[in-house]
Amino acid sequence: MNIKKIGMSALAGSLVAMTANAAEMTVTGNAKVTYVTNSGGSDSMKDSLTGSPIGFDQFLGFNGSADNDIGTISLYTGMNVHGMAKSSSKLTIDMGDAGLIGFDGGTASFGLNAHKDMLPRASGAEQSWDDTAGDAYTSGEATSGNIAYVNSFDGIELQLVYAKNGGGNSADDTQTVAGDDSDKTIVVKSSSLMDGLSVGVGHGNIDDTTSLDTETQSLAFAKYAVGSVTLGVQVADHNKAADDEQILLMGIAVNVNENLSLSYNQRDVTLGDQVAAKTSDQEDSGIAASYTMGGMTISAFKNESDNVGGTAGKTDQRTQVALSFAF
């Protein structure tokens, strides 16, 4: 659905004192019905579902923009209709050749967090590790309360992200305590080096909420699309107190036709020697399929984690079938 031409005099005018044209606000939405099953030995709650396996989610996204003296200011706010709670928000100031400044309130649009898993996937599929007990060992700075600068130079995009004291944001005139160190990350990427090829690297220091140290993170990825097939590979290294991690991700996605797509993703996590009890590498895999017709998508994925948290024989499995509609 679209609600257009809602007058918003000087969008974000409370933030910058300059003239702005009346903004146009659009509203988009989606609804999703899911059926899930869980199995494995990670914990008793995941061995069998005690409630209904059916989920019903509704989401609204509000987008507005207005031009002013320094560029285009855009505002996004997402809301989960169930409970009427704000999900995430983002404010950007696009200054053209001078670059873009972004203020993130939970969208994970910038930096390492936006590139933590760049593998190709079928529409509607989660990452191979998502929604399982192995849902950990991912790269990224704070997604709330960070400030980003984005610009492109001869086909190469640069993203700089800074989150003071671990990030976090609250309403006006309040403060959020999120950590004792500040997140500082950089991502450089390009899709112009060769037809079908996308590559990128990232590095940063992240606040470690469990200690006074900072965590150093690095990642690199490459995707190559040829015809209907897209291949992807990514590596990451996390150097933190008492628990280092080396991560390898590989994946393939195939567009069978304009409606049907399939994918397979895999992630292997090598845990550091500092944690003696974690003697096994965690292995995650995910297979997915989706069929899209207009604004409707039918999708299914099955994610499985083996040796969860480095414990040999500890497994967890998540299967989900979803029917979603975009408005």
CATH number where 82 lies? 2.40.160.10
In a domain, 188, yes or no: yes
Confidence of residue 80 (pLDDT cuts 50, 70, 90): confident
Q: Is 71 part of any domain? A: yes
Q: Position of tokens 């550091």?
A: 272
Residues in CB range of 173: below 8 A, 6 or more apart: none
pLDDT number for residue 199: 98
pLDDT band at 310 (very low <50, low <70, confident <90, very high): confident
211 has a pLDDT exceeding 70: no
- For the segment 303-313, the average pLDDT, to the nearest whole number, is 88
pLDDT for 14-23, tens place per residue?
334 334 456 6
- Residue 170 pLDDT greater than 70, yes or no: no
Residue 60 inside a domain? The answer is yes
* 10 within some domain: no
Question: What mean pLDDT is predicted for residues 122-136?
Answer: 87
Cα gap 181→175, rounded to integer Å? 15
Least confident span in 73-77, 147-151, 164-168: 164-168
Residue 87: band (very low, low, confident or very high) from pLDDT cuts 50, 70, 90:
confident
pLDDT at 134: 78
CB 136 within 8 A of CB 163: no
pLDDT band at 39 (very low <50, low <70, confident <90, very high): confident
Residue 5 lies in a domain: no
**Is the model more confident about 130 or about 160?**
160
Residue with the larger pLDDT of the pair 158 and 239: 158
Mean pLDDT over all residues of the chain?
84
211 has which bridge partners? none
* 245-302 tens-digit pLDDT: 899 999 999 999 999 999 999 999 998 765 555 668 899 999 999 999 989 999 999 9
In a domain, 1, yes or no: no
Residues 73 and 93 sit within 8 Å (Cβ to Cβ):
yes
pLDDT reported for residue 11:
36
Considering the domain boundaries, does residue 15 fall inside one?
no
Number of independent structural domains in the chain = 1
Percent of the chain with pLDDT over 90: 54
Say yes or no to pLDDT of 144 above 80.
yes
Is the model's pLDDT at 182 over the cut of 80?
yes
Look at residue 2 in the predicted model and tell me its pLDDT.
40
Domain extent, residue 38, equals 24-326
| Residue 248 within any structural domain of the chain | yes
CB within 8 A of 141, min separation 6: which ones? 111, 112, 113, 161, 163, 167, 183, 184, 185, 204, 206
